[in-house]
A and B are shown apart, each in its own frame.
Chain A
Amino acid sequence: DGGITQSPKYLFRKEGQNVTLSCEQNLNHDAMYWYRQDPGQGLRLIYYSQIVNDFQKGDIAEGYSVSREKKESFPLTVTSAQKNPTAFYLCASSLEGPDTGELFFGEGSRLTVL
């Protein structure tokens, strides 16, 4: 079955450590997105990529980095520069842009900084 796989589901990090969240899709989608969700707030865009080897910053990119070396993979690194990284992170994909059809989401990764 086609879909998006995020890992890990839960992650604990000490302050000052970088962590990388994995996002893999086998839907042959060009566009992939990373969102952050905090309690009581809507999803906020961190980074998005519409094609391999290209990505753009979203609204809250500071303290995060991404790569898109392969079509199916879009990992997110939460760096030590991110001031408040404890949050729920969601990866999503669409065939092309967000108005071209259905969005597919991973199950999310919950990051807690100790």
Chain B
Amino acid sequence: KNEVEQSPQNLTAQEGEFITINCSYSVGISALHWLQQHPGGGIVSLFMLSSGKKKHGRLIATINIQEKHSSLHITASHPRDSAVYICAAVLSGNTPLVFGKGTRLSVIA
């Protein structure tokens, strides 16, 4: 069983909708990353969180360390947001990342 689980696996939304992608983990972590993978394969880092909430443009990421859960929200979604969104956890200290399998988002105009 993967230590990092994402839901949903696939998500289709109409342009303008509010989107939520969830990430849960079964062990203690020191930080969590949200990444965006474009159709061509390149990956861009969106956020790194260890507590609370971060916002960048239409993207908001939250984390609740005690509940072992993080969410990525996209407000006013747009077709250019279509991508695979991946969460990755730093389990402790300096250990390598553990990745979720990703959520494939399609936003339709």
Contacts and interface: CB of A to CB of B under 8 A. Distances in A.
- Chain A interface mostly: loop
Contact of B45 (A33, A48, A103, A106): A103
Interface residues on B, range: 20 to 34
A16 interface: no
A21 B50 CA distance: 33
Given A42-B100, A42-B102, A48-B96, A99 B50 contact: yes
B54 to A, nearest CB: 12
A96 B30 CA distance: 14
B101 A42 contact: yes
Interface string B31-74: 10101000011111100101000000000000000000000000
Contacts of B45: 102-105
Interface in A74-114: 88, 90, 92, 96-99, 101-108, 110
A88 B94 contact: no
A96 B44 CA distance: 18
A11 interface: no
A99 B30 contact: yes
A104 B88 CA distance: 13
B86 interface: yes
15 contacts: A37-B41, A42-B2, A42-B102, A44-B99, A88-B41, A90-B41, A97-B93, A98-B33, A99-B30, A99-B50, A99-B94, A103-B33, A105-B42, A105-B45, A107-B40
Interface of A: 33, 37, 40-45, 48, 50, 58, 88, 90, 92, 96-99, 101-108, 110
